[in-house]
Copies of this chain bind each other. A is one copy, B any other.
């Protein structure tokens, strides 16, 4: 039996195209036979390093106007609901801290999809602790306990380290995917190609366990 190759999925909760990728990735990864490594991170520090105080879609209005139209079309194409968040971008800091906490406990994928659905499928404010508490409760988790732990120094530091890693690995936007050989792909548009790459690369370096 062969080990399933790992496939890193770096996403930011306020990112429109990360929403599309998050809602699509699981069946595609399953079909490709790769294991998704969920990597919630923050685009804020990444954008700041590029001189932007907010989303480039807000910094560059023509690009922003196009993105909203493109998202409408893409959501239809993938059969997903789409609300334009107000305000945009949403503050995804607490959601990212919570998602990070779920990694060792197995509920990050389901939490991530629930947050994206609340944000882009229902137009809810994901910076609102109540909204996140409701999601955690609906997943059968203790919201108060988890949110306290998410805000602990240990967990905050863990997210900062993940963000440092994002920047040192050349991430400049989201979603971003990495195959095991380090090959990087940016954007929901590249998800299928990234998975193809991950599978091909894994076959080349195949070592039976």
Contacts and interface: CB of A to CB of B under 8 A. Distances in A.
Interface stretch (A6-14, A34-42, A63-71, A82-90): A63-71
B189 A63 contact: no
A66 B194 CA distance: 14
Interface in A54-81: 60, 62-63, 65-66, 69-70, 73, 77
Contacts of A70: 185-186, 190
Main secondary structure of the interface of A (DSSP, over half): helix
Contact of A66 (B50, B62, B172): B172
Interface residues of A, number: 20
Nearest to A65: B170
A172 B66 CA distance: 9
A51 to B, nearest CB: 8
A184 B69 contact: yes
A143 B173 CA distance: 44
Select the residue from A62, A170, A193 with max chain B CB neighbours within 10 A: A62
Interface of A: 50, 60, 62-63, 65-66, 69-70, 73, 77, 170-173, 184-186, 189-190, 193
